[in-house]
Amino acid sequence: MSPLTPPLKDLILVVTGGSGSIGSAVCRAATRDGAKVAFTYHEGEERAHTLAAELGEGCLFQQVEGTDAAAISAFVQRVETELGPISVLVNNVGLSQVMPFALIDEDDWDQTISVNLKSLFLFTKAVVRGMIRRKHGVILNLGSLAGHRLLEVPVHYATAKAGVRGFTLSLAKELSRYGIRVNEITPGLIQGGIGASASERQLADYNQFCAMGRPGTPEEVAELAVFLASSRASYLNAQSFVIDGGL
């Protein structure tokens, strides 16, 4: 690849939960780096339309429920028909509830586990068969420091995000024979999105113990994502890339 060639040129990149803070930043960075981008959203229709207009011609987006297997399969077929074979999947759909363990009921638990893990399974399953046929692809799973460290976070959210790590490791091993790389991006406290629910005390604690002295930005996470999606990261596989400013 020439130094002047965009690193994601001609790649088809799908971002789930693309209208959120990290998802939209990934869409922008991937488009800048030459990819054709498709994204899903659940809520925030106005944000989704605004983002699509910003990304320009060739962007494809659709409202998709992250636990609806039929809708996900139809969306993937639409992307491959209108844009081409999917090269990169960024699993970014997530849900958290700020709730102490004693107040979590069964429905809360089921919803959080389902949105964070069932969506991961369904989107990946819909995309991976094409990657296997082509013997090429990249899957990036958005985890969280909550699934790796002793932190003051909702138990059901931490449990779901810990599951992302196991999913990543097992899938990376299974798909390595097909030349498909699978990695996890593990953000710490990030401005916007779920990070917006942090209390002033939690934010102060994070700033105190973080070597950078601040939360991260969605754009910083996006830069890591587009690097891992590119051929520049061709020897990086089955890893959890922590981006937390140094805790």
**DSSP-assigned beta bridge partners for residue 74:** none
| Separation CA 146–CA 150 (nearest Å) | 7
In 3D space, the residue among 101, 107, 94, 110 whose CA is nearest the CA of residue 186 turns out to be: 94
In 3D space, the residue among 65, 60, 92 whose CA is nearest the CA of residue 77 turns out to be: 60
To 5 degrees, how large is the angle CA 157–CA 159–CA 163? 115
Exactly one of 41, 157, 178, 206 is catalytic; name it: 157
157 a catalytic residue = yes
Which tokens in the block code for residue 153?
């976070």
Cβ-Cβ contacts under 8 Å for 169 (sequence gap 6 or more): 238
Which tokens in the block code for residue 108?
């809360």
Sign of CA dihedral 188, 194, 199, 200: positive
Cβ-based burial of 200 (10 A; exposed 0-12, middle 13-18, buried ≥19): exposed
Active centre residues (catalytic): 157
